[in-house]
Structure 1
Amino acid sequence: MQHVAVIGAGSFGTALANVLADKGCEVDLYARRQEQADEINQEHTNSRYLPDVTLHEGIRASADLAEVVRDKKWVLVVTPSSVFRETLKSMRPHLHPEVRIAHATKGFDIDTGQRMTQVMEEVLAEIDPGHFAVVSGPSHAEEVSRRIPTTVVSASRSQRTAEGFQDLLMTPYFRVYTNPDVIGTEIGGALKNIIALGAGISDGLGYGDNTKAALMTRGITEIVRLGVSMGASQMTLTGLAGVGDLIATCTSLHSRNYRAGYALGQGKSLQEVLDQMGMVVEGVRATKAAYKIAAETGVEMPITAALYNLLFEGKSPRVAVEDLMGRRRIHEMEEVAAAVPLTWES
């Protein structure tokens, strides 16, 4: 039986702790607030993040980060990207030298534009980078916690690490695939939140299925375009961590990014939406980071640019859509057409 630390008692961190406990692992779960830890230990619930869900009695929660990570050889970090770096710094003095650490954070470090494993390699430089992994895919915490069949990806540059987390998490209802493409797995998870904001805005404006289908399809084009430029495999981005996660996030009321976008489409300000949500909306930070990366690398991302202008430059949702629809005419497969000249019949 493995002893595993899960850092972050939000919805997905708690859901993964439940999966691990179901698998028979001994699970220590870090919660920032003592009252939340007490509720998990005494009531076996986490009512703020997973209402109406009964948690496995084997989960042991604590507000003491050092206690949770000390001597553990397996650690899962499930925190918002905004506190990811500082959380790692706080964990660092207490980590086992042979620890293997996976994260399930879908975003970028806003100050540097780094992916989460890049932050791990920088902050935890004394640990073998082959001991780092990312877990990502279409996996709403509300469904995972209710043991609804779900599939995700465990990606690491080390096969042993990827398969280690696969073995830890695999249950009859939670299937885990392995992948060596860390970059693609992280890029897919981060960028799909941007497109989910757009999907919510589209529905909030009262547009239909045609609009959302176009947004999602052209959205995956942007994800692949930026991902490949950063070293990702296109195959990864058309798999679970890319298209799979995009579908789940753009079409479900479980998605806080979709819900935030819907409220924006109905005319609420960004601050009103964030105050109303009461939880982190990673797509907002991801939009700012991706917009900056695209500008620096020269990658064209018109949907991301439109959302950036809406979120941070005060452009109205309807005008943002009009700008997208009025762009210059291009070939649908523009990159393919440029690389492989097509011959038209007439």
Structure 2
Amino acid sequence: MSGRPRAAVLGAGSWGTTVARILADAGTPVTLWARRPEVARGIRARRRNPEYFADVPLPDLVDATDDAAAALSGAALVFLAVPSQTLRANLAGWVGHVDRDATLVSLMKGVELGSGRRMTEVIREVTGVRADRVAVLSGPNLAPEIMDGQPTATVIACADEDRATALQEAVTTPYFRAYTNDDVIGVELGGAVKNVIALAYGVACAMRLGDNLRATLITRGLAETARLGVALGADPLTFAGLAGLGDLVGTCSSPMSRNRTFGEHLGRGGSLEDAQRATRQTAEGVKSCLAIRDLARAHGVEMPITEQIERVCHEGVDPRAALTTLMSRKPKPE
């Protein structure tokens, strides 16, 4: 058995399963919690998640259970990988089983509807833990590539440098390189807003718009992400790194991206319901665009791409009309 501290990953979707594999490959024993008992049984019996990456074997250091208390028992590192809008309710049922000094790590890339809270803020509110016990992992980390063993890098942000370093050691493998950062706000916002920009990028792809516009969406999308981040106290340099530009480029440019794919369905004239049925996975940007828009308005930050994506997703505005609105905005200095 590894001498590493034990980890728990709560959420056996594609990203939770991928992080469980990364941890095990790094020598960190991990228990993966699955909501459905049959998924946990499949992992234990066949070393594969029957729902995600069913053809990829999981290392022996990965255990699985449908009992959250059992997964959390003795876990020094707790990775949370549930849909953003379900975090508060799920965590309220789990908090009593979290070890007193465990590090809580957000793998989610969203902003809570209604409250406008980032996921680390939700974690702190529900658990009552200090800020230095909460971390976030984010970067250009497309799960299918990682499960294929293809190399990538990520960022682990935490106010406590020692905890960040411990997490870095727990996930570092020959194919997964982790950097540390103390800018939790910037790293977290970069991961949340890039999903909204990727929706816009997918719309542009479906409309067969050119590389000029696609580059414009990435660049101006990064600009509005940084504006919001700075207003909330983030370091602007964070957005030039892996959790900012890196994640944004990866999510926009890859056909494997859920949010880009969702946007493509919208760009072809599909409804929100049509796109949801076709993708069959959570596209975090669809719900988060509402919360991000409200957060921007509350802080007096202009986010025109986010505003238009919210209108397309939730107000039934035609994507072409949204593009016309963007292109007809009053000229201003960059």
Q: Secondary structure at the match of 1:133?
A: strand
- Cα distance per residue 1:272-311 (max 9 Å; x no partner): 1112222111011111111111122111111111111111
Instruction: Quote the residue 2:171 is aligned against.
Output: 169
- 1:103–1:133 CA contact under 8 A, matched in 2: yes
Matched ranges for 1:79-228 at <5 A? 79-125=82-128, 127-228=129-230
Q: Runs of 5+ in structure 2 lacking a partner?
A: none
Q: 1:47 to 1:208 in 2, by over 3 A?
A: farther
Paired residue type of 1:176: A
Shift of 1:52: 2.9
- 1:31–1:62 CA contact under 8 A, matched in 2: yes
Instruction: Quote the residue 1:270 is aligned against.
Output: 272
Task: Give the distance between the partners of 1:43 and 1:175, measured in 2 at CA.
Answer: 28
- 1:71–1:94 CA contact under 8 A, matched in 2: no
TM-score by length of 1: 0.94
Shift of 1:211: 1.2
Q: What value does the CA root-mean-square deviation take over the aligned residues? A: 1.0
Shift of 1:51: 4.3
Asked if 1:53 is matched to 2:71, the reply is: no
Instruction: Quote the residue 2:302 is aligned against.
Output: 300
Shift of 1:152: 0.4
Please tell me whether Structure 1 or Structure 2 has the larger radius of gyration of its CA atoms: 1
Instruction: Quote the residue 1:336 is aligned against.
Output: none
Task: Give the distance between the partners of 2:45 and 2:292, measured in 1 at CA.
Answer: 42
Task: Give the distance between the partners of 2:301 and 2:205, measured in 1 at CA.
Answer: 27
Asked if 1:44 is matched to 2:47, the reply is: yes
Size of the alignment, in residue pairs? 331
Task: Give the distance between the partners of 1:206 and 1:320, measured in 2 at CA.
Answer: 15
- Cα distance per residue 1:4-31 (max 9 Å; x no partner): 1111111111011001111122110000
Shift of 1:60: 0.8
- 1:287–1:307 CA contact under 8 A, matched in 2: yes
Matched ranges for 1:331-342 at <5 A? 331-332=333-334
Task: Give the distance between the partners of 1:290 and 1:23, measured in 2 at CA.
Answer: 35
Instruction: Quote the residue 1:21 is aligned against.
Output: 24
Q: Secondary structure at the match of 1:185?
A: helix
Once the two structures are overlaid, the 10-residue window that deviates more, 52-61 or 130-139, is 52-61
- Cα distance per residue 1:137-160 (max 9 Å; x no partner): 000111111221110001011101
Task: Give the distance between the partners of 1:322 and 1:129, measured in 2 at CA.
Answer: 43
TM-score by length of 2: 0.97
Task: Give the distance between the partners of 1:197 and 1:165, measured in 2 at CA.
Answer: 31
Once the two structures are overlaid, the 10-residue window that deviates more, 208-217 or 37-46, is 37-46
Task: Give the distance between the partners of 2:213 and 2:247, measured in 1 at CA.
Answer: 19
Paired residue type of 1:58: L
Paired residue type of 2:46: E
Matched ranges for 1:250-329 at <5 A? 250-329=252-331
Q: Secondary structure at the match of 2:43?
A: helix
